[in-house]
Amino acid sequence: MIGEFLHVAIAVEDLERSIAFYTEVMGLELDYRAQHAGELPARISGVSQAELEVVVLKKGPARIELTDYRRKEPAGSKPQNQHGLTHIAFLVEGIDQEYERIAALGYRFNSPPLQSRPGGPKVCYFHGPDNVVIELYQTATAPDAGRARPGNETNPRR
């Protein structure tokens, strides 16, 4: 039986920069930090001669695993319409204020917060460290969600 969703892992270029982003900008907390090297992590990860540091950050039940492989492959930006993981989303209150705060820190957004459909949530995407696309998502029942209708958005899905 498959249980609950556990975490998303991101291979990072600069572990300290990524920790600072996810803790200081996005509000996650350190869960644990560990280093691994040798045959076992190579077998588990499928990366030959794997030598890595792993940091797990948490917010509520959600976890993000940041993995710093000492031997790195170049990162590339991935368009949203390609197969595979395209972005990670954070539920927010006050999306317009969060947009302004994060943009002022120099992060590039695709657009300001927009209502995704009539009566629906407000969303916006920006580019965090390591070309990871991050969505800010505010349910339609939040106070500054635009044309919100009470009770219309009980499940935060598009």
Which domains does the chain show, CATH number per domain? 8-69 (3.10.180.10), 85-158 (3.10.180.10)
Please determine, for residue 93, whether its predicted confidence score (pLDDT) is greater than 90. Answer: yes
Decide: 99 and 109 in contact? Cβ < 8 Å.
Answer: yes
Distance CA(22)–CA(17), nearest Å, equals 9
Check: CB of residue 56 under 8 Å from CB of residue 34. no
pLDDT at 39 (0 to 100): 86
139's torsion region: left (phi>0), alpha (psi -120 to 50) or beta?
beta
Burial 74-101 (b: 16+ CB within 10 A, else e): eeeeeeeeeeeeeeeeebbeebbebbee
pLDDT tens digits, one per residue of 38-77: 888 888 788 888 889 999 999 999 999 999 988 766 666 6
Q: Can you give the pLDDT at residue 47?
A: 81
In this predicted structure, what is the pLDDT of residue 155?
Answer: 40
